[in-house]
Amino acid sequence: MPKFIGFDPKVILFLKDIKRNNNKLWFDAHYDFYQQEILERSRDLVEDLGEQLEKIAPDINIVPKVNGSIYRFSRDARFSQDKTPYKTHLSYLFWQGTLKRTQCPAFYLSIRPEYIQLGVGINHFTPEYLQAWREQCAHKDQGKKIRRIINTLEQSGISFYGEQLKRMPRGYSVDLLNSDLIRYKGLKCWYQIPLPDEVYSHDFIFLCQHHYQQLLPLFEWMVSILSRFSIEEDTHFI
């Protein structure tokens, strides 16, 4: 039986309000609302959406808790010029692999008052993954495959993001088919959609699943790269 019934409209108001009141005093006064209407429903969202994702990605990791599939709402401001203590959006991820969750290919979801983002990717490649990524992008057959995937997603309105080298890495030519992809040090892409009415009902699960299905070819290609190096030897990344 489905658990996620949608977010209460007051959740979106909460996200708007915390932009103007991003401080501990305000958050503490609304802590019970956060726990009941945001965190509890987020757990339900993760369980129901994870169940649908398992149908297309059977080995996906689904962890319905904070620092699992639910990102912390508090910000790590130690290395940021922005010292506000809390985020102004809700974020989730479902990842595949045994490395640290942010170093594995993952499905992402972000909910903001203005829009939602549904995407896949990895923020920062590990050294082993980076090497395998470049090799596969430059491979005669695999390179053509990933180019087709990227072109199809671009035509559907997807935007790609990630830190890139200004120059080609040593050993790779600028004349390669995927010279742009080879320069990436991490890659994410997503659909950005105006906040849909479905966010207030269980139908939101199926809206997310529809877009993840379109992103699946890139997710699967990124997962396949994990087999190009020994994950068991990368325990220092866990």
Element housing 90 (H / E) = strand 90-95
Residue 1 placed within a domain:
no
Residue 107 placed within a domain:
yes
Q: What is the CATH number of the domain that holds 113?
A: 3.30.930
Token pair in block for residue 94: 């479902």
DSSP state of 35: I
Question: What's the domain range around 202?
Answer: 9-237
Q: Which residues contact 131 (CB under 8 A, 6 or more apart)?
A: 229
The predicted structure's pLDDT at residue 236: 33
Residue 3 placed within a domain:
no
Q: Are 117 and 157 in contact (CB under 8 A)?
A: no
Element housing 192 (H / E) = strand 187-194
Alpha carbon distance 131, 146 (integer Å): 16
The pTM of the full predicted model, rounded to 2 decimals, is: 0.90
Q: Is 137 in a helix, a strand, or coil?
A: helix
Residue 14 placed within a domain:
yes
Token pair in block for residue 228: 């190009």
Alpha carbon distance 90, 112 (integer Å): 7
Token pair in block for residue 138: 């430059």
- Show pLDDT as tens, one digit a residue, over the chain (238 residues): 789 999 999 999 999 999 999 999 999 999 999 999 999 999 999 999 999 999 999 999 999 999 999 999 998 877 677 789 999 999 999 999 888 999 999 999 999 999 999 999 999 999 999 999 999 999 989 999 999 999 999 999 898 999 999 999 999 999 999 999 999 999 999 999 999 999 999 999 999 999 999 999 999 999 998 877 643 333 333 2
Total domains, the chain: 1
User: Among all chains, which residue has been given the structure tokens 């072109």?
Assistant: 151
